[in-house]
């Protein structure tokens, strides 16, 4: 698969097969995160793979209504950016961590896995953060879902490059 084909093949999946991603595979996917660009080499990306206890704790923090959505994928990974408190550096570090996340999603796609970058409200709450032991200095960027694909997403529609690219004189 060319890089372009890979970028196009990464889709948001909301239905997954039941098999968790093996630990070794996950480590390989998460290993590509470190190739993301990082200003001042802060390498701010952090990933926490949820085990059963962590998932239970997060579900409890989410409450009954929301917790069902945490069962959609067999493997969940919280992605965050470790911040310093410096406004400019923090902005760059959030960007670097987001770039790292996309690399991981692409690696998952290449491995034939379905993925989903979700930002559930519970990870914006004190209870949700405490359930996973996320320290104050980290900005949670998403709950990444991984697993076998269960259904092809509907075809995507995107604006052509001409609509967002400008060549300045």
Ligand X SMILES: Cc1cc2nc3c(=O)[nH]c(=O)nc-3n(C[C@H](O)[C@H](O)[C@H](O)COP(=O)(O)O)c2cc1C
Among 142, 144, 145, 146, binds ligand X (CB under 6 A): 142
Q: Is 4 in the site for ligand X (CB under 6 A)?
A: no
| Contact range with ligand X by CB under 6 A, out of 31-39, 52-60, 77-85, 115-123 | 115-123
Q: Is 121 in the site for ligand X (CB under 6 A)?
A: no
Angle in degrees, CA 106, 93, 122, rounded to 5: 75
Among 12, 27, 63, 91, binds ligand X (CB under 6 A): 12
Q: Is 127 in the site for ligand X (CB under 6 A)?
A: no
Other beta carbons within 10 angstroms of residue 137's beta carbon come to 12
Among 118, 125, 149, 150, binds ligand X (CB under 6 A): 118
Q: Residue with the closest Cβ to ligand X? A: 12
Q: Starting at the edge strand that comes first in sequence, how are the strands of the sheet with 138-147 ordered?
A: 45-49, 75-82, 138-147, 114-118
For residue 103, give the 3-state DSSP assignment: helix
Eight-class DSSP state of 21: P
β-strands 114-118, 75-82 pairing = unpaired
Q: Is 119 in the site for ligand X (CB under 6 A)?
A: yes
Tell me the HSE value of 65 on the side-chain side, using a 13 A CA sphere. 3
Residues that bind ligand X (CB under 6 A): 11-12, 117-119, 142, 153, 156
């Amino acid at each position: 698969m060319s890089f372009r084909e890979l970028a196009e093949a990464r889709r948001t999946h909301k239905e997954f097969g039941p098999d968790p991603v093996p630990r070794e595979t996950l480590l390989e996917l998460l290993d590509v995160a470190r190739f993301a660009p990082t200003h001042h080499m802060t390498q701010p990306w952090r990933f926490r793979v949820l085990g059963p206890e962590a998932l239970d704790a997060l579900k409890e923090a989410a409450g009954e209504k929301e917790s069902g959505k945490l069962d959609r994928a067999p493997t969940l990974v919280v992605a965050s950016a470790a911040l310093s408190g410096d406004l400019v550096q923090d902005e760059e570090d959030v960007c670097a961590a987001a770039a790292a996340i996309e690399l991981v999603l692409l690696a998952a796609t290449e491995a034939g896995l379905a993925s989903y970058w979700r930002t559930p409200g519970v990870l914006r709450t004190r209870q949700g953060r405490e359930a996973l032991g996320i320290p104050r200095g980290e900005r949670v960027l998403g709950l990444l879902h991984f697993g076998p694909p269960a259904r092809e997403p509907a075809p995507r529609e995107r604006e052509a490059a001409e609509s967002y690219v400008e060549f300045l004189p």
